[in-house]
Amino acid sequence: MTTDSSHDKTEDTARPAYGPTLIANYVKGLPHKPGVYRMFDEFGMVLYVGKAKNLKKRVTAYTGYDRHTTRIRRMIRATTAMEFVITESETEALILEASLIKRLKPRYNILLRDDKSFPYILVRKDHPAAQVTKHRGARKIKGEYYGPFASAGAVNRTLDTLQRAFRLRNCTDSIYEARTRPCLQHQIKRCSAPCTGEISLTDYQVLIDEAEGFLNGKSDALRQKLQAQMEAASKALKFEQAAELRDRLQAIAQVLTKSGAANVNPKTFSNADVFGLYTAGGQTCIQVFFFRAGQNWGTNSYFPRHSSEDPTTQVLGAFIAQFYSNKPIPHQILLSHGVESFDLLVSALSERSDRKIEILIPQRGEKKKIVGQAVRNAQEALGRKLAETGAQKKLLEEVKTLFGMESLPSRIEVYDNSHIQGTNAIGAFIVAGDEGFRKRDYRTFNIQDESITPGDDFGMMREVLHRRFARLSKDPKLEWPDLVIIDGGKGQLSAVTETLEKLGVLGRITLVAIAKGPDRNAGRETFHMNGRAQFSLPLRTPALYYLQRLRDEAHRFAIGTHRARRKKSMISNPLDGIDGIGPGRKKALLNHFGSAKAVKGATVDDLSSVEGVSQKLAQTIHDYFQE
């Protein structure tokens, strides 16, 4: 990369103070070469950083003032100075542009926000008994680094697994040297205590080697080895040793069958980052899944700053370029959407990592499924952000206008029921206000009226609303809702209206029912209110998205509570309740996964890999746990 001193910071005392004419003066001296340019305002603040394959042509485009959007015109008018850096190639220009944007945070650029360094797991090799610990920052300590992990929480979960599965020490060297008897970690079977000779350094090194094999993706071979050891110990009547091996298998299976937000470990790739993008309400969320050694090492949500006019291809491309400016790049990158200058981005990332990088937009198979999970996670994360950030008041203004309310709703209650064919029936409501969800105010109701026919949603809704508003009427200290939303259509609205009329409180609230669209299609919901014809909202409106989010949060809370209640009523071993699972298959499943809980979290493919479990039976087991 070279800096053109004559154009790096051009000085021309004859030029106008700002605007298109100033930019035209710069154009006269620019070369037809790749490079990066910066635009400054009158206070010396960077307005925009851009790259170009041909600087002269790219900057000339800014002189055609009328061809640009209002936002870009504003930027052009504010420009009082420009700087240019000439590069050897457009690839080098892209790398420099991403670095400058992250460092300078220009007002008019798409910007990756909250970009922090990622943590790693460090297996220290500068001590006879290797220490396993979390590490962030420069890699100055001798040892093996595994990562990156999406967050400290993801590292902590994996460290917890390593301690339970491999009994590795995490104490400092000073504590290690000072020990005269095993600590509590050894007592609870999370450390093999090499410090006091409870295990020889040679045997401890075997545990370290097994842990590193696990972190390198050699988990299947390790699991088979531990299973064989467990069965041998059991046959030799060494039940305590067999129990310890069982516990180690459980710890490993917990990661291998249910790993983080993606809830899947891939079979068709080993090292990759997955980017799922979702846009709504003028904002974007990009969800990133980190897969290393065939395991999911966590997920992060990012909310890049950009204009509502920026296309998703431009947002995602700029995000990825900035994302990898200070991070290791995996062999594969999987995207939910296309990006601008696709070949250029591949070239830039390959150049930065000194090896070929593959960027894919999967169209089928496992990769497509995992990318879809990333998009769904991005959708939920964006929903939470829209519901909990500063855009809340604007959304509430739209809700007020939509439902004809006299003032902004300061308390919104959303009601839903959950049951399976009438069993373990519960009702629930969530609360939202001008600061987002108020989770401390969430409540659930066990359905108590035995006269209600199992599965009668109308009857359950009547009971829940009656109990809720009867209590509100009796206790003046309780906060009344301004807006009550129920999940349902005309039938639910009529049932609730009748209940509230009997209590004499209907006039104190605004009551709305939200009916799901055809085929439960989000975006085609129908709204029902008393004294008003049913209506729908245009797709992609912030108010519709906000109301969908409220309804979905109520559904999540209700079904989560229902499942917790149902779980308590289950028999001691859930596998006994599945048709086709006898003593033999039950033993095979428990040996393979370590526990019934791990079986519950397994995918169909995981289940079908167990000896004696067909694809059809695997589907039956999976459906039993994942109704």
The pLDDT tens digits for 203-254 are: 899 888 888 888 877 777 777 788 888 888 888 888 877 887 787 787 777 6
Q: Which residues contact 567 (CB under 8 A, 6 or more apart)?
A: none
Residue 19 has pLDDT above 90, yes or no: no
- Whether the CB-CB separation of 529 and 550 falls below 8 Å is answered with no
Nearest to 488 by CA among 462, 463, 510, 514: 514
Which pLDDT score, from 0 to 100, does residue 93 have? Answer: 92
306-347 pLDDT, tens per residue? Answer: 888 889 999 999 999 999 887 888 889 999 999 988 999 999
Q: Residue 5: its pLDDT value, please?
A: 40
Q: Which two tokens stand for residue 381?
A: 């994360």
**For residues 115-124, average pLDDT:** 82
Lowest mean pLDDT among 40-49, 255-264, 332-341: 255-264
Q: Are 89 and 28 in contact (CB under 8 A)?
A: no
CA distances from 449 to 442, 452, 460, 462, 463 (A): 22, 6, 8, 10, 8
Residue 73: exposed, middle, or buried by beta-carbon count in 10 A (0-12, 13-18, 19+)?
Answer: middle
In this prediction, residues 476-482 reach a mean pLDDT of: 83
Residue that is written with structure tokens 């519709």 in the block: 544
DSSP 39-74: EE-TTS-EEEEEEESSHHHHHHGGG-GGGS-HHHHH
Q: Is the pLDDT of residue 46 over 80?
A: yes
Q: What are phi and psi of 357, to 5 degrees?
A: -110, 135
Which CATH code, of 2.60.40.10, 3.20.20.80, 3.30.420.340, 1.10.599.10, is assigned to 392-568? Answer: 3.30.420.340
In the block, residue with structure tokens 């790096």 = 8
> Is the pLDDT reported for residue 259 higher than 70?
no
Closest CA to 298 of 171, 163, 134, 98: 134
Helices of type H across 410-541: 457-474, 490-503
Q: Given this chain, do its domains 5-104 and 272-388 carry the same CATH topology?
A: no
What per-residue confidence (pLDDT) applies to 241? 77
CA–CA dist 179, 195 (Å, integer): 6
Closest C-alpha to 169, from 212, 143, 204, 200? 204
82 within 8 A of 24, measured Cβ to Cβ = no
> Please, is 541 exposed, middle or buried when counting C-beta atoms within 10 Å of its C-beta (0-12, 13-18, 19+)?
middle
The span from the first CA to the last CA of the chain, in angstroms, equals 58
Give the pairing of strands 423-433 and 412-420: antiparallel
CA-closest candidate to residue 446, choices 564, 335, 578: 564
User: Phi-psi region for residue 325, left (φ > 0), alpha (ψ -120 to 50) or beta?
Assistant: alpha
The rounded distance, in Å, linking the Cα atoms of 413 and 335 is 37
Contact 257, 593 (CB under 8 A): yes
| DSSP type of residue 576 | G
Max distance between CA atoms of the chain, in angstroms, equals: 95
DSSP state of 519: G
Contacts 24+ apart (CB under 8 A), 363-370: 365/268, 366/266, 366/267, 366/268, 367/266, 367/268, 367/269, 367/334, 369/264, 370/262, 370/264, 370/266, 370/274, 370/289, 370/334
Are the C-beta atoms of 485 and 413 separated by less than 8 Å?
A: yes
Residues 339-369 have pLDDT tens digits of 988 999 999 999 988 889 999 999 999 999 9
Nearest to 195, CA basis, from 263, 127, 244:
127
Looking at every residue in the chain, the average pLDDT score rounds to 84
Residue ranges of the domains in the chain? 5-104, 120-217, 272-388, 392-568
Predicted confidence band of residue 436 (pLDDT cuts 50, 70, 90): confident
Of 252, 255, 295, 253, nearest in space to 272 by CA: 295
Domain 5-104: CATH superfamily is GIY-YIG endonuclease (3.40.1440.10)
- Residue written as tokens 């640009």? 68
- Give the helix/strand (H/E) hosting 532: strand 532-535
365 burial via Cβ count (<10 Å: 0-12, 13-18, 19+): exposed
Please give the torsion angle defined by the CA atoms of residues 65, 66, 72 and 76, in that order, rounded to the nearest 10 degrees: 20
Top-ranked range on mean pLDDT: pick from 367-371, 457-461, 613-617: 367-371
Rounded Cα distance between 59 and 251, Å, is 58
Rounded to 5 degrees, what angle do the CA atoms 143, 145, 151 make?
A: 140
pTM above 0.75, yes or no: no
* pLDDT, tens only, 551-606: 999 999 988 888 877 766 554 566 766 877 877 788 888 878 877 778 888 888 88
User: What is the share, in percent, of the chain residues with pLDDT greater than 70?
Assistant: 90
Whether cis (ω within 30° of 0) applies to the bond prior to 574 is no
Is the pLDDT at 125 greater than 80? The verdict is yes
The reported pLDDT for the residue numbered 501 is 93
SS3 content of the chain, % helix, strand, coil (to 5): 45, 20, 35
> Helix (H, G, I), strand (E, B), or coil: what is residue 330?
coil
Provide the CATH topology of domain 272-388. Nucleotidyltransferase; domain 5 (3.30.420)
Which residue type, as a one-letter code, is found at position 556? R
Strands (E), 87-201: 120-124, 132-135, 143-146
- Say whether pLDDT at 260 is over 60: no
Strands, sheet with 120-124, edge to edge from the N-terminal-most edge strand:
132-135, 120-124, 143-146
Buried b / exposed e along 281-309 (16+ C-beta atoms within 10 A): bebbbbbbbbbbbbbbbbbbbbbbebeee
CA distance 467 to 445: 9
Q: Which stretch of 120-124, 127-131, 290-294, 390-394 has the lowest confidence by average pLDDT?
A: 390-394
Helix (H) or strand (E) holding 313: helix 312-323
- At 294 the pLDDT is 76
